[in-house]
Amino acid sequence: MTKIDEETQWESRYKSGNTGWDRGASSPSLITQLDNKNLTPCSILIPGCGRGYEVALLAERGFNVTAIDIAPSAIKEVKGLLAQQGLIASIIKANFLEWVTEKPFDAIYEQTSICALPPENWEAYEKKLRSWLKPEGMLFANFLQTDQPGGPPFHCDIGVMKKLFSSANWEWSQKPPMRIEHPSGKHELVTILKHKTT
């Protein structure tokens, strides 16, 4: 799929209201990480931020937030949400397979963005996540479980994720993944991964 196709595809979902992933509020996954103090104020990136409820919550809690999305409507909506609440974050319209940063982040909050990509792009995306994250930085991952072929959204089988986010580069949380219901009727498996120092 070309760059313009991807933008058009996601933008048309926003324009037609075909956004079945949208909770209309912050995910309980992020609220749990904040309540448990697994996530405390730091520089944090949200790739594929959608309408940005998590961007607003983190900005409100004192995080230095950068968020990217390919869909112009999503960018407009998250900027509007921040303005409405008098909050500040850096919002960037970009394709995350191309976006680079000179200043890696302490943490990344990834909520059902990898499932938006076809599996042939997953290796490139995992490399991007490493390039955006400081050594010892934390990835808060929310892997969508569709248990179905095809997509998007594509099924992020945990065995496949363990191979992709391999122990050469990532340390997986010892705790079993937490289950979070998804508005589509499916569910996410949530885990924390540490970017190993190479």
Ligand X SMILES: C[S@@+](CC[C@H](N)C(=O)[O-])C[C@H]1O[C@@H](n2cnc3c(N)ncnc32)[C@H](O)[C@@H]1O
Contact with ligand X (CB under 6 A) among 58, 71, 133, 141: 71
Binding characters for ligand X, 18-57, by CB under 6 A (x = yes):
---xx-------------------------xxx-------
- Gap between the Cα atoms of 103 and 133, Å rounded: 9
Q: Which region, judged by CB under 6 A, interacts with ligand X, from 33-41, 58-66, 70-78, 155-163?
A: 70-78
Q: How far is the CB of 111 from ligand X (least distance, A)?
A: 4
**Measured in Å, how far apart are the chain's first and last C-alpha atoms?**
33
CA-based nearest residue to 96, from 144, 49, 164, 152: 49
Q: Kindly tell me which of 54 and 106 has the beta carbon lying closer to ligand X.
A: 54
Q: How far is the CB of 101 from ligand X (least distance, A)?
A: 14
- Name 139's Cβ contacts closer than 8 Å, sequence gap at least 6: 107, 108, 110, 129, 133, 165, 170, 192, 193, 194, 195
Q: Kindly tell me which of 22 and 60 has the beta carbon lying closer to ligand X.
A: 22
